[in-house]
Amino acid sequence: MAFLSNNHAVNPSVFKKLPYDSLNDITPLTIVGGVPIVLGVHPKAAARNVRELQALMKARPADLNYASSGNGTIFHLAAEVFLDAAQVSARHIPYKGVSPMAADLPSGQGEMGVLALGTAQPYIQSDALRVIGITGRTRMASLPGVPTIAEQGFTM
């Protein structure tokens, strides 16, 4: 038995050649769990919701950065999907993993980032990171006041 991460789905789009056929060599049996993904901003950012972030990014198209856990990671791709849905652009700052990225967001190195709730939780609790959207279809019980990105008018 093997557990696969989201990289299994991402890798065929990122790498020209893989040593396996991701569709034919592996048969999925079940989904064991999922990780809630959130859109977070620096706590002093002018944006308090996704629409305000979109407006800020449209007003300053060359000035804003977004952090990710690295090129081709699920968080990088989720941020790109958001930028596409919001019809905005930002400079990508890839980190070597989600932990360094999450630790740097509160310092203002990037105005926004997409990350797992579990990683973001300590920063949210200490008010070092503000979550303005959730990528899932429904709100999370642990963040009842944070609407989904879809609720805010963006299809991801």
Integer CA distances (angstroms), 142 to 67, 76, 133, 138, 147, in order: 24, 24, 13, 12, 12
Does 37-156 carry CATH code 3.40.50.300?
A: no
Judged against a pLDDT cut of 90, whether residue 13 lies above it is answered with: no
Domain boundaries, the chain: 37-156
Tracing tokens 């950065």 back to the chain, one arrives at 65
Q: What is the pTM of this model?
A: 0.83
What is the per-residue pLDDT across 119-145, written as a single tens digit (0 to 9) for each? Answer: 999 999 999 999 999 998 899 999 999
Report the pLDDT value the prediction gives residue 69, as an integer from 0 to 100.
Answer: 92
pLDDT at 45 over 60: yes
